Every structure is written in C-alpha cells, then in structure tokens.
Structure 1
Amino acid sequence: MLTHNWLYDAMLYIYALSLLFYFSDFVERNRQAKRMGTGLLIFVWILQTAFLVHRIISHLNMTFMTLSEYLLMFSWLLITVSLAISRFFRIELFVFFVNVIGFAVLTLNLFGIGQGASLARWEIVRHLLIVHITLMIGAYVAFTVGAVFSGMYLFLHRRLKGKQWTKSVQRLPSLEMIEKMMSRSALIGTPLLTMSLAVAVTSILTEGRYLLLLDLKVLTSFAALALYIVNVLEHRWFDRPGGKTARWDLICFAVLVLSLLLNRLSSFHGWS
C-alpha cells in the first residue's frame, strides 16, 4: 500500500486502470472500453469526493486549506471537467491527457497527506519509485511481446510475398492475427509507459531534483513514448500498412531498449 489510507490507494489504482480503458477507446473507438473507463473514472470521482469532504469536515475551517486539499480539489476538478467533456463531446484525446495530468497530481498529493495518514516522506518517495518501476516493467513486457509479433509479421510477409511456403510459415498465424496482437500490445504498453513517466516526473519535481529532467535516460524514455504514440496513431488513423507499422514498432522498441541500457549512465534509479 502506498499510504495507510486505503481510500487514497484505491483511487490511485482504479484511476490507473481507467486510463488503460480510455486509451484503448481513444485508439480503437471501442465503446465497451469507453464504458469501462468512464465507469471506473466515475468511481474514482466518487471516492475522491468522499475523501475531499472528509478532509474538509475534519477541520471545518474553510478559511484555511492545506496544499494537499488544494491539489486534491484540482485533481477532482480535472476529473469533473473530463467527465463533462466525455459526456457531451467526443474528444477522447483530451480526456485521456487531462486525466494523465490528474493522475500525476493525485500521485504528487501523496506528499501532502501527511497529517497522520501517510508514510514518512522518504518512504513515499521509495514507494513512488516502486510504482514507477512496476508500471515500466509492465510496459516493457507489452512492448517486448509487440516487438516479437512485429518480427513475426515482417518474416511472414516476406515469405508470403516471395511465395516461400515452408513449414515455419505454415505454423505461423495469419498476418491479420499477428497485426491484431501487435496492435493490442502497443495499446497496453503505451498508457503504462505514459503513467510510469508521469509518476517519475512527479517524483523528480517533488524532490526538487530538476536536473534529472535532462537525464539522458529520462529524455530517451520520453522519446520512446513519443515514437510509440505516433506509431499507434498513424496506424489507426491513417491506416498505415502493417509492414511499415511493424518496422516502426521495432525502431520504437530499439529506442526503449537503449533507454534501459542507459541505466548505467543515469542518475535516476540506475543500477550496475
């Protein structure tokens, strides 16, 4: 648990899950995913409202609000606005990125809920890094699976184009199935990487270690995220051929692996 307050922990975990569904709907126009994401976000809004009301009632002095309550109210307003936009307009990209900011603010607020409800500051920093690394590992797994499918796609496409009907070709699934799995891997990995980097930036800013934002590993990670987002959007919105998407997916994965290898040169949770 990130804090001793189960309500706050529940908000963070459910919020992260809702973002996964929202990103899936944003890319694939999946109504079921949108309903799941909206339902989870409404539940987060209810929990956040209850938490905020409890904090205000606990001291009943509306002339004084702590930084924690300001941040919590800011996050609550972001969710409220995004839900209103989602209800009356179809701007999924806006809703997704607004809630990435809301998630980062909610995470940042871990440092401000210390009136008996949270762990010591250094412990929260450590747990934030655990959350960051956990999300990053999930993204690595999804992108690795996607890279394998991308390699399979290019291999099978070349064999079929050259009419090389080998046993290895016969054992592979269809190009359509491989492309679908490749796409789903990107849909899972991209929001996980986005949230992981949001938590990392929150930790950096809160500790005041601003120079870490210029760390080579951090910059490379953001470059990999930008490439993945562009790759996903171009494939979905501009109907880019599967072969070109597969090649770009492997390039994105290479940048991500480079980011991992830069741990030795990084000041941000580097290891030898």
Structure 2
Amino acid sequence: MNWIYPIAIVLYSFSVFGYFIDFLQNNRKVNRMAFWLLSIVWVLQTTFFVMRLFELGRVPLLTPFEGLFFYAWLIVTLSLVINWYFRVDFLVFFTNVIGFSMMTFSLFTPDQDVPLALSELLASELLIIHISIIMLSYAGFTVAFACQLLYVIQHHMLKKKKWGKQLVRFGALSKLDSISFFSILGAWPFLLIGLILGFVWGYSQLGQIPLLDAKVISSLFVLFIYGVYLYLRVVKLIRGYNMALLAIASFLILLINYFLSGQYSNFHIWY
C-alpha cells in the first residue's frame, strides 16, 4: 500500500503541471492528458483509502494525515465532476492547485497510530459522520474560492481590456458567480450540521461542549462569515467584485481555522 501514495502524488503533480501548460498555451491535447492523469489519481486515492480502511479496521479520518488526504480526495472528485458537467477549464486547474497542495502537505503531518482507548472513544459513528460532513463543506468552499479567484482575475483583465482566447476559458463572470454561490449555499448547511454533530458528540462522550476551545470558536466564526456572504447575496441581492473578495477572505479564514486553531485546541487532539 505504501507505494500507491507517492505514485498518486507524482501523477497528481504531472496533472497539475499539464493544466498549467494548458493555462499558458491553450493546449487542448495537454488538457486531455491532464484530465486522464487526474482520473488515474482519483482511482489510486480511492484504492489507498479502501485498503487503509481494511488495514486499520476503521474509517481513516482520525489523524491529520487522513484528514488532509480525504480533503484532497474530495477536491479531485469535485474537479472531475466540474470538468464533466461545467466545462470551466481553468476552474479545474485552480481547484487542483489547492488539492495538490493539501495532498503534498499531508506527507508532513502526523500519522501516528491512535491509542486503543482513544481509538474506542474517537471511532464512534457520530464522530466519523461529523468529520466527513465538515470535510464535504470544506471541499465546497474550496470550489467557491477557486471560482471567485478566477472572477477577480478576469475582472482585472476586463478592466485592462486584455482580450483573447484565454479570457474566454475563464468562464463567464455570471457563471463563475453562480457556481461559487451554489457551492457555498450547499457547503454552509453541511458545516452547520457538522458543527452541531460535533457538539452532540462532545457532550455525549466528554460530558460538555467546549465552547471556549480555539477550534470551536474559529469554526463558528467561519460559519458566521460565510453566513454573512449568503445573507448579502440572497437577502440584499449584492453581487460582483466585492462579494468575490468577501468569499476569498472567508476561505482564507477557513484555512487558518483548519491549520492553526487545532494547534491550540485541547478538544481537537488530532486536528
């Protein structure tokens, strides 16, 4: 099983590089090659996940390594769906830059065995569902971030009157805005449900809800800031460049929540 992971990362790097070449040169042949490499990466990731599941006898979501791997797997899965249904070429590239970064970073994160007593505590179905739903929300927010990043870049290109084939492949501003909005609209309830399940699990297993925990506070703030975006978008009907910047800032806060707050958390031992 150990050989699958490095091969997946190498092929993933080739795929991202192929999309980068296509981004620069509008090379459809390289684009197709990058897509098929990405498909192979998905197969290898899925194989690795299933083999690890049987090896450990639990769903592999409990260590920092497993969390980042699952995050990257979701990104690749969504990228393939986006490529198939929406045909926004550069969105796949931008999204997978993030996915590849997550998968590479996972190599440097702890993957130690979970102690038996703690494993029994952690491996409850409720916790697995909590982590899975949270990761699904993160994947949706990642797609929205890539869309809004493309939106901002294209906005500046249009202001500077830089026309060309490359601009067309960014996708229409309205399309990018719609994909981003629906990604956030779908991801936000997942984040809310995931947090509620986390509270329920914490109370049932630990006898308390650690509301003053750094990870909990930052997660609630992420929920709030994306809630502000949805309020402005749905109720106030605000769209455009400033909303794109708000969505980008929200995702950066999410990354801080994911990578930093767990370091100061007594509740989230493994994240």
Task: Give the TM-score taking structure 2 as reference length.
Answer: 0.52
Superposition pairs of residues 24-43 of structure 1, within 5 angstroms: none
Counterpart in the other structure of 2:208: 210
Aligned with residue 230 of structure 1, among 221, 228, 231: 228
Label 1:123 to 1:205 Cα distance change in 2 as closer, same or farther (>3 A): closer
Distance apart, 1:239 and its partner CA: 1.6
Counterpart in the other structure of 2:181: 183
Aligned with residue 162 of structure 1, among 152, 160, 167: 160
RMSD value, Cα? 1.9
SS of equivalent residue, structure 2 residue 211: helix
Counterpart in the other structure of 1:245: 243
Counterpart in the other structure of 2:267: 268
Q: Cα deviation per residue 1:100-122 (whole Å; 9 max; x = unaligned)?
A: xxxxxxxxxxxxxxxxxxxxxx6
Q: Identity across aligned pairs (percent)?
A: 26
Distance apart, 1:209 and its partner CA: 4.7
1:225 maps to a residue whose letter is L
SS of equivalent residue, structure 2 residue 270: coil
- Residues 209-218 or 222-231, more deviating: 209-218
SS of equivalent residue, structure 1 residue 173: coil
1:152 maps to a residue whose letter is L
1:263 maps to a residue whose letter is G
| Distance in 2 (alpha carbons) for counterparts of 1:259 and 1:208 | 22
Aligned with residue 143 of structure 1, among 122, 141, 144: 141
Q: Cα deviation per residue 1:112-163 (whole Å; 9 max; x = unaligned)?
A: xxxxxxxxxx669722111110000100100000000010111111111221
1:140 maps to a residue whose letter is Y
Superposition pairs of residues 70-219 of structure 1, within 5 angstroms: 126-210=124-208, 212-219=210-217
Distance apart, 1:246 and its partner CA: 1.0
Distance apart, 1:211 and its partner CA: 6.2
| Distance in 1 (alpha carbons) for counterparts of 2:216 and 2:123 | 17
2:243 maps to a residue whose letter is T
Q: Contact 2:133/2:191 (CA < 8 Å) preserved in 1? A: yes
Counterpart in the other structure of 2:100: none
Q: How many residues align?
A: 151
Q: Contact 2:121/2:205 (CA < 8 Å) preserved in 1? A: no
Q: Contact 1:144/1:253 (CA < 8 Å) preserved in 2? A: yes
2:162 maps to a residue whose letter is Q
Label 1:161 to 1:192 Cα distance change in 2 as closer, same or farther (>3 A): same
Q: Contact 1:204/1:213 (CA < 8 Å) preserved in 2? A: no
Q: Contact 1:125/1:203 (CA < 8 Å) preserved in 2? A: no
2:268 maps to a residue whose letter is H
| Distance in 1 (alpha carbons) for counterparts of 2:122 and 2:144 | 33
SS of equivalent residue, structure 1 residue 212: coil
Name structure 2 gaps, 5 residues minimum.
1-119
- Residues 218-227 or 197-206, more deviating: 197-206
Q: Contact 1:264/1:271 (CA < 8 Å) preserved in 2? A: no
| Distance in 2 (alpha carbons) for counterparts of 1:186 and 1:135 | 14
| Distance in 1 (alpha carbons) for counterparts of 2:187 and 2:208 | 27
Distance apart, 1:205 and its partner CA: 2.1
- Greater Cα radius of gyration, structure 1 or 2: 1
SS of equivalent residue, structure 1 residue 188: helix
SS of equivalent residue, structure 1 residue 268: coil
SS of equivalent residue, structure 1 residue 214: coil
